[in-house]
Structure 1
Amino acid sequence: MTDEPGPAERALYLTAVRNGGRLHPDDLARADRPALAALVARGLLTPTPAGYTVANPRSLGDRLGSELRTRATRLLLQAGRLPTALGPLAHAYDALRRPTAPTTDTTHVEGNADIRQRISDLTSGCKEEVLAAQPGPRPIEGLQMALPQDLSLLQRGCSLHTIYQPATLADRTVLRQVDLRTRYGAHVRVLAEPYERVMVFDRTVAVIPAAEDRSRAAFITDPTTVAFLVAHFERDWARATPADRHFDPPHPTGARIVRLLARGLTQRAVATRLGLSERTVAGHIARLRELYDAETLVQLGWQMRGEHDA
């Protein structure tokens, strides 16, 4: 029996309500008997000497709600115990000696499903960090599917560094998914310039597209090549800006202050131009430097100008 009454049960219950809260056996057709039995089993109809009377559906809702919450709690506890229960099997898998077939530094995998599975295996086996440069749009379905594994990665102490383009985080559904990860400690930055797609796991395995339609991927283990890709990622990461402002955008006055400073105005002149105190201007600048992780006003102006141009 399902948790909720089906259409036939609902219709019969409403018929009983319209009849003053009662049903007489003579008023029932043979086709109504399964729905009648189900309503009695659920406690929505109570047998009486004269037939059946309706019961308050709220009591069923309370009872089913309690049962569902108990079931959900049991499943959550089971999910929490599962990694520990599978630990010995995972250790045995890690210690498995692979067949002595010729090894290569690059493995090509075709098909989106096989690529996702291989990346999922690498994420599950990650021990320290994942680096990901993700240009272009991000399908919301893929982000939703990967969320439990990404949160598990973060909860076991690994770091997750991801670079997106500004247009990607303009999608509010994608932004919410990214925000969920940052709450668990993921680091996200935005780079308003072209860069290549890459994922690196524990600085030992790198994944890059091997076809324009991303239906083929190369999994690289050559230390020199992986180090080269990590260096490129770190260069892009250094030029990127923290994504915090996408969750809490800076005040428009701050942007005006930076634009005026970039034109060569002094802090006092900016305060006079905008009708603000120098202390207020200094406060805006300090918050923006922290938000954009900028060490100097020149760097701050360059980062904000790059975002505006994008």
Structure 2
Amino acid sequence: MTDEPGPAERALYLAAVRGGGRLLPEDLAPADRPALAALVARGLLAPTSTGWTAAGPRALGDRIGLELRTRALRLLQYAERLPGTLGPLARAYEEARHPVGGPPAVAPYGGDPGVVDPRAADPRAADPKAADPGAGTVDDAAEVRRRVGELVSECRQEVLAAQPGPRPLEGLRMALAQDLSLLRRGCSLRTVYQPVTLADPGVRSQVALRTGQGAQVRVLAEPYGRVLVFDRAVAVIPAAEDLSRAVFLTDPTTVAYLAGQFERDWARATPAARHLDPLSPATVRIGRLLARGLTQRAVATRLGISERTVAAHISRLRDRYGAHTLFHLGWQLRGEQHD
């Protein structure tokens, strides 16, 4: 028994303590019998010849803590063994779904993805009837999440994720274990977010947990489409604005096009490290004025500070957004909707 005492047990135990550490049969009501039995089983009350005496709860806490730590250790050991135990089943499942060849080759990180012949990338493309039967529109949000999770678990090389707009923190937390498992398997994970996403401290913390294990994250302050690409073989795009429906695509030409769109956005995005530390209020205010089209001198006049001070803040903003000119910076800030 490792759960905590309930309200009835606590009340009965406190009554024994207030009675000098003893509990007599005449002190009990019929409704107290279940709580009494539970307290005796926990070791908080010890039977005597005349009734029961209260025992110290610290020993119970130590014992329960030891039991929980032992159980946790066993669960961790089981979790470590589970992938190996399921390995033969997973391989049989993957071979049944992909009987011919493997996923297409992936361009090296930071290199030109190049042009891949869809038929060479996936021999099944020569025969439309051999297309993945899992392709198509899924109308149930829970089923979408399940199938995306399955694709992450089956991934062999890389996941590309373009995720515009705010990200639900709870969803990121739930996906953390699976994402870290993906990275430990040697797969790459590249994600593009918008600046508004990293405005949430909780989201920044989740992003840092992934980047600390090798994930790459960039930020793009302009509109782009939501897409997930797995091993350049399967792409997932939303089929409804509320993300309750999704389309799973396996046509090689379509998947290659979506992967190319991702690479284009990735090349224009800036490393997330520049966004993980929040800007100072003064820098944010200057950024808002720049987004409205004010010049450096006009910003200095508006705020009553020197142009040199404004230039220092602009330099920080340029570093963060990868902007080479003041016009480019203002355009990026307008995309972020500072005004």
Cα distance in 2 for partners of 1:216, 1:275 equals: 51
Matched, 1:135 2:159: no
Would you say the 8 A contact 1:241–1:303 is kept in 2?
Answer: no
Matched, 1:226 2:255: yes
Q: What is the aligned residue count?
A: 295
Would you say the 8 A contact 1:292–1:303 is kept in 2?
Answer: no
| 3-state SS in 2 of match to 1:166 | coil
Q: CA deviation at 1:176?
A: 2.6
Which amino acid in structure 2 is aligned with residue 38 of structure 1?
A: A
Cα distance in 2 for partners of 1:42, 1:252 equals: 56
Residues 177 and 66 from structure 1, CA distance in 2 versus in 1: closer, same or farther, beyond 3 angstroms? same
Residues 275 and 192 from structure 1, CA distance in 2 versus in 1: closer, same or farther, beyond 3 angstroms? closer
Q: What RMSD over aligned residues (CA atoms) do the two structures have, in Å?
A: 3.3
Percent identity between matched residues is 63
Would you say the 8 A contact 1:124–1:153 is kept in 2?
Answer: yes
TM-score in terms of structure 2 length: 0.75
Would you say the 8 A contact 1:292–1:300 is kept in 2?
Answer: no
Matched, 1:172 2:201: yes
Which amino acid in structure 2 is aligned with residue 164 of structure 1?
A: Y
The worse-fitting range, judged by mean Cα deviation, of 105-114 and 40-49 is: 105-114
Residues 164 and 101 from structure 1, CA distance in 2 versus in 1: closer, same or farther, beyond 3 angstroms? closer
Q: Deviations 1:125-158 (Å, cap 9, x if unpaired)?
A: 1011101111122223322222211111111111
Q: Deviations 1:216-250 (Å, cap 9, x if unpaired)?
A: 32222222221211111111112112222332235
Cα distance in 2 for partners of 1:104, 1:210 equals: 20
| 3-state SS in 2 of match to 1:102 | helix
| 3-state SS in 2 of match to 1:96 | helix
Would you say the 8 A contact 2:321–2:329 is kept in 1?
Answer: no
Residues 236 and 302 from structure 1, CA distance in 2 versus in 1: closer, same or farther, beyond 3 angstroms? farther
Q: CA deviation at 1:180?
A: 2.2
Q: CA deviation at 1:201?
A: 0.5
Cα distance in 2 for partners of 1:91, 1:303 equals: 49
Cα distance in 2 for partners of 1:189, 1:233 equals: 12
Cα distance in 1 for partners of 2:241, 2:308 equals: 53
TM-score in terms of structure 1 length: 0.81
Cα distance in 2 for partners of 1:47, 1:213 equals: 61
Q: CA deviation at 1:80?
A: 1.1
Cα distance in 2 for partners of 1:58, 1:228 equals: 64
Q: CA deviation at 1:291?
A: 6.0
Residues 33 and 71 from structure 1, CA distance in 2 versus in 1: closer, same or farther, beyond 3 angstroms? same
Cα distance in 2 for partners of 1:85, 1:245 equals: 42
Aligned to 1:117: 146
Residues 11 and 308 from structure 1, CA distance in 2 versus in 1: closer, same or farther, beyond 3 angstroms? same
Q: In structure 2, which of residues 186, 193, 214 is the aligned counterpart of residue 157 of structure 1?
A: 186
Q: CA deviation at 1:101?
A: 9.7
Aligned to 1:201: 230
Matched, 1:76 2:103: no
Q: CA deviation at 1:254?
A: 8.2
Aligned to 2:49: 49
Would you say the 8 A contact 2:198–2:276 is kept in 1?
Answer: no
Give the unaligned 5+ runs of structure 1: 266-272
Matched, 1:14 2:22: no
Cα distance in 2 for partners of 1:33, 1:305 equals: 69
Matched, 1:95 2:124: no
Q: CA deviation at 1:171?
A: 2.4
